[in-house]
Structure 1
């Protein structure tokens, strides 16, 4: 069963899909034995995990499963553009964890897709004591790659990432305001997941979220903050994987993050304990939407292995 609850970080309030009612989440006696956070990416929202949640519930009937809307995806969590750095958003996740677990006495697992993956890496980097394991989807580690490796080993990825430039100017990203069935949002979903036959209900739900007041400006600010000169810390998320065991999942047909990046990461992380890099065939960037059973089973196996 799905419920809508609220989480907070200071003045910001976040809408959250939860499998427990809000009164149960904040009850003195917890009915759950672990917490699983599902952190969405862009262009997407927290309904991204709607097909994964039932499978996680079936396998972890006593887990508290929370899928929050990220900072800026509703008016109650919006703020100045400079406050959309990865480090600032990681503080939201820290606050959420502390809110549902005032005393860290139960396992916490992060599952992040796209920007949610980057945020999960950052949380594990700066608050490793709060996270017991994590699974990242569609974005590999990246923090250990250098520019010369992009230039000489994976130059195609630089081209694939050129959409970052679109998010730097409203003149360009305003294309995401288009409505109808053949829009820029459709183009991104089709290009990034070429085999994904998504429903109009799925993409229209995301479009509806992005068209709410201030959301498109806030969600694209994530990209602009990466390019801010003084945001050096926000571009690195060095994780000690011995502290936070991590499964890095990608899709082989991903048009946003090519398979060669995962192959390079697998090579670079081969001697690093408690991290696994894996690509899945026949799925692209939205792999958890495309094949929720396969992705959920991988998440379940990783959580059980690292419980």
Structure 2
């Protein structure tokens, strides 16, 4: 078992990194691709047993879940961390969509492609958004749901419009709407991403090797533009009436037992935005605010987060 989340993430980096890939297996973590919803998803996986999908956010990648995969495998789970659509060369959305609906459909399709009837979902940031959409679209496919760092419900949309504090935190979303974004993010070896990590998790320093692996992900052809598309489509509704109706299904009440974790020091999303979100969870929501944790709480306090998650999954 890795001695820290950082060492586990480096293990995952060695797995996926194109220039460092020497073996399909490092430790107990394996890698392969799985065809689902029109895409060949690169995945990391470990263990066997009930399926748990770990979904990454921005600016992040599947490798950050390596420590979780190892621990979950030791606890008797089949832990799988896929790349979100767009996060690998050749992984552009076939339908051009990076909306919650599309990523939620990806999650449901991955569960089916992996041969499972249902799965537990753990999502961070945009991965949480995908997990919420999947649970809202097809609750029968989701046993339990864990969201990290991005809340669910209309309160978040309202905050983008009316909450000055959250507007300040979300400045990057608005900047990503401009043509300057690609150029700015890539300058000085992705210094822009370094800034986001510092602001969002002020008590955490991303190790140099992990920073390099992250930059390698965003340096792949097309990946940065595809990652920015998530935000460029965030504030614009689907154009067709049918698509709008289906999109609404991906943001409705969630009938799956759920756990939500948020750090008090999160510089990206205020923990206060998760207050009152229980109303959107018709089968119960446990909300935990973790002192001293920032946005990347699964890396900052991996064992504490895992203890909450494992207790919830097993109860």
Q: Report the Cα distance in structure 1 between the residues aligned to 2:178 and 2:199, rounded to whole angstroms.
A: 21
Matched, 1:176 2:188: no
Q: Alpha carbon RMSD of aligned pairs, Å? A: 2.4
SS in 2 for 1:83: coil
**Aligned residues of 2:159 and 2:167 also touching (Cα < 8 A):** no
Q: Which region of structure 1 is more displaced relative to structure 2, 218-227 or 72-81?
A: 72-81
**Aligned residues of 2:72 and 2:78 also touching (Cα < 8 A):** no
What are the residue-to-residue correspondences of 1:148-187 with 2, within 5 Å?
151=162, 154-180=163-189, 183-187=191-195
Q: Report the Cα distance in structure 2 between the residues aligned to 1:93 and 1:148, rounded to whole angstroms.
A: 27
Who is 2:304 aligned against?
A: 294
What are the residue-to-residue correspondences of 1:65-104 with 2, within 5 Å?
65-79=79-93, 82-101=96-115, 104=117
Who is 2:205 aligned against?
A: 197
Matched, 1:279 2:289: yes
Indicate which of 223, 227, 231 corresponds to 1:219. Answer: 227
* Structure 2 unaligned residues grouped into runs of 5+: 1-27
Who is 2:263 aligned against?
A: 251
**Residue 146 of structure 1: how far off its partner (Å):** 6.1
Q: Which region of structure 1 is more displaced relative to structure 2, 47-56 or 78-87?
A: 78-87
Tell which has more relative contact order, 1 or 2 (C-alpha 8 A, sep 6+).
1
Indicate which of 5, 23, 47 corresponds to 2:63. Answer: 47
SS in 2 for 1:178: helix
Q: Report the Cα distance in structure 2 between the residues aligned to 1:249 and 1:258, rounded to whole angstroms.
A: 12
Q: Which region of structure 1 is more displaced relative to structure 2, 75-84 or 131-140?
A: 75-84
Q: Report the Cα distance in structure 1 between the residues aligned to 2:234 and 2:247, rounded to whole angstroms.
A: 7
Q: Report the Cα distance in structure 1 between the residues aligned to 2:270 and 2:131, rounded to whole angstroms.
A: 20
**Aligned residues of 2:46 and 2:70 also touching (Cα < 8 A):** no
**Aligned residues of 2:256 and 2:283 also touching (Cα < 8 A):** no
**Aligned residues of 1:166 and 1:173 also touching (Cα < 8 A):** no
Work out the number of aligned pairs and report it: 283
**Aligned residues of 2:29 and 2:69 also touching (Cα < 8 A):** no
Q: TM-score, normalised by structure 1?
A: 0.84
